[in-house]
């Protein structure tokens, strides 16, 4: 009888891993969440990173770690990826594309050679390499979009896979994979606009008493989103401020989906009330919302509907300072005008 066993492999950049033994359940039938938490490669592991990105996306953080592009039908692109081996021995690495999907806030890479449209358009050369201990190998990912490709966004993953050597007794063969996400939008012209709304904020307590803020986030644009961000507290009891607190990473929103983004706070925080500002980002997209909340003793408070702003909310103190600067500026202007009129009034008239 054969069986599956999950093992752990370190991650590189915003690239996720998956490792499973070959067993009764085909690996191609399973999907593995690809993490979006940045971690450097650790000793004794495999790493995979994107080497280049399109010049047009040089300021987009997502395009520096994933293959993200918008292509017209009939277009061919090439991207270079690098496999690193920090183990103590040579590793035989196989590189290949597979299908991926987004489900309930997670980007899922299909294990094995599971096909979808994007994976059939994608090839990797060289597709296999012996990477020496401490060595690196660069391969080229080519995506050739057919001329009759349907418009829309496609998801995939390029896996770097290594397998343990089979034993004479026929025991478990361990398969380890590390992957790079593919986000490809198909259609004429420029890419669809990305957008999101922060629809509500909810104050909660975790079972161990930690205060939480849960934001309901809706993908209202035309591209999938990988969310990160932070939350700031101000105007708390006694004028306290706290933060920023980082949002839980790993939330990927498919087009049209709404998912929670959770921010865990410090247990020592008083219940409130607090003025809360949350700012969420995906690539170059940034949106903010604010509300006044009080943390319950247990469970969850009623959700507070919010309005999403394209730019960060200006806290009350900053707003007062801005008004003060405006008033000072007006006062200076009035003084200058009065002086100028006085000088004119004091000049002798021509006879």
3-state SS of the chain is: CCCCCECCCCCCECCEEEEEECCCCCHHHCEEECCCCCECCCCCCEEEEECCCCHHHCCCCHHHCCEEEEECCCCEEEEEEEEEECCCCCEEEEEEEEEEEEECCEEEEECCCCCCHHHHHEEEECCEEEECCCCEEEEEEEEECCCCCCCEEEEEEEEEEEECCCCCCCCCCEEEEEEEEEEEEECCCCCCCCCEEEEEEEEEECCCCCEEEEEEEEECCCCCEECEEEEEEECCHHHCCEEEEECCCCCEECCCCEEEEEEECCCCCCCCCEEEEEEEEECCEEEEEEEEECCCCCCECCCEECCCECCCCCCHHHHHHHHHHHHHHHHHHHHHHHHHHHHHHHCCCCC
CA distance 211 to 224: 29
pLDDT in tens, 280-299: 999 999 999 999 999 999 99
Task: Say what the pLDDT of residue 13 is.
Answer: 31
pLDDT at residue 59 above 90? Answer: no
Average pLDDT score over residue span 165-173: 66
CA distance 311 to 88: 49
- Longest C-alpha distance within the chain, in Å? 121
Q: For the CA atoms of 307, 312, 315, 321, what is the dihedral angle to 10 degrees?
A: -130
Average pLDDT score over residue span 316-323: 39
pLDDT at residue 109 above 70? Answer: yes
CA distance 78 to 93: 20
Task: Say what the pLDDT of residue 36 is.
Answer: 52
Which residues fall within 8 angstroms of residue 106, CB to CB, at 6 or more apart? 33, 250, 252
pLDDT in tens, 73-83: 999 999 999 99
Please answer whether residues 194 and 62 qualify as being in contact, where contact means their C-beta atoms are separated by less than 8 angstroms.
Answer: no
pLDDT at residue 48 above 80? Answer: yes
Task: Say what the pLDDT of residue 87 is.
Answer: 86
> Would you state the structure tokens that stand for residue 345, as one six-digit string?
């009034």
> Would you state the structure tokens that stand for residue 266, as one six-digit string?
């410090």
pLDDT at residue 318 above 50? Answer: no
Q: 213 forms bridges with which residues in the sheet? A: 203, 263
Please answer whether residues 155 and 122 qualify as being in contact, where contact means their C-beta atoms are separated by less than 8 angstroms.
Answer: no
Please answer whether residues 191 and 219 qualify as being in contact, where contact means their C-beta atoms are separated by less than 8 angstroms.
Answer: no
pLDDT in tens, 128-150: 999 999 999 999 999 999 999 99
Please answer whether residues 40 and 163 qualify as being in contact, where contact means their C-beta atoms are separated by less than 8 angstroms.
Answer: no
pLDDT over 70, % of the chain: 73
Of residues 325 and 157, which shows the higher confidence score?
157
pLDDT at residue 12 above 50? Answer: no
Tell me the pLDDT band of 341, cut-offs 50, 70 and 90: low
pLDDT in tens, 174-185: 778 899 999 999
Phi/psi zone of residue 310: left (φ > 0), alpha (ψ -120 to 50 degrees), beta?
Answer: alpha
Name which of 170, 131, 173, 249 is nearest 7 in CA terms: 173
C-alpha dihedral sign at 62, 107, 78, 192: negative
Per-chain mean pLDDT for the chain:
80
pLDDT in tens, 220-232: 999 999 999 999 9
Task: Say what the pLDDT of residue 35 is.
Answer: 54
* Lowest-pLDDT choice from 86-90, 218-222, 338-342: 338-342
CA distance 184 to 252: 15
Task: Say what the pLDDT of residue 2 is.
Answer: 24
Of residues 134 and 172, which shows the higher confidence score?
134
Task: Say what the pLDDT of residue 58 is.
Answer: 78
Q: For residues 160-191, b (16+ Cβ closer than 10 Å) or e, as one string? A: bbbbeeeeeeeeeeebbbbbbbbbbbbbeeeb
The model's pTM: 0.76
pLDDT at residue 57 above 70? Answer: yes
Task: Say what the pLDDT of residue 334 is.
Answer: 56
């Amino acid at each position: 009888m054969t069986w599956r066993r999950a093992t752990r492999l370190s991650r590189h950049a915003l690239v996720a891993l998956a490792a499973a033994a070959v067993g009764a359940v085909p690996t191609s039938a399973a999907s593995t969440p690809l993490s979006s938490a940045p971690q450097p490669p650790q000793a004794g592991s495999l790493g995979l990173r994107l080497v280049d990105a399109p010049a047009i996306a040089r300021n987009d953080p997502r395009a520096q770690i994933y293959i993200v592009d918008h292509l017209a039908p009939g277009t061919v692109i090439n991207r270079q990826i690098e496999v690193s081996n920090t183990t103590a021995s040579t590793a035989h690495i196989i590189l290949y594309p597979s299908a991926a999907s987004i489900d309930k806030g997670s980007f899922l890479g299909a294990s094995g050679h599971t096909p979808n449209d994007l994976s059939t358009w994608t090839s990797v050369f060289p597709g296999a390499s012996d990477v020496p201990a401490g060595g690196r190998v660069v391969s080229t990912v080519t995506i050739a979009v057919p001329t009759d490709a349907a418009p829309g966004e496609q998801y995939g993953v390029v896996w770097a896979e290594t397998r343990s050597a089979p034993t004479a007794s026929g025991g478990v063969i361990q398969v380890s994979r590390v992957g790079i996400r593919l986000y490809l939008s198909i259609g004429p012209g420029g890419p669809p606009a990305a957008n999101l709304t922060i629809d509500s904020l909810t104050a909660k307590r975790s079972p161990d008493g930690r205060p939480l803020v849960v934001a309901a986030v809706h993908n209202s644009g035309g591209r999938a989103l990988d969310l990160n961000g932070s939350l700031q507290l101000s105007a708390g009891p006694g004028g306290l401020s706290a933060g920023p607190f980082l949002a839980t990473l790993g939330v990927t929103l498919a087009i049209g989906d709404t998912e929670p983004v959770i921010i865990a706070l410090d247990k020592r925080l008083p219940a409130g009330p607090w003025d809360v500002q949350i700012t969420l980002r995906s690539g170059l997209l940034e949106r903010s919302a604010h509300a006044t909340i009080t943390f319950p003793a247990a469970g969850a408070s009623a959700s507070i509907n919010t309005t999403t702003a394209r730019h960060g909310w200006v806290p009350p103190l900053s707003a007062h300072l801005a008004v003060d600067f405006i008033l000072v500026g007006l006062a200076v202007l009035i003084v200058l005008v009065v002086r100028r009129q006085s000088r004119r009034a004091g000049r002798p008239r021509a006879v």
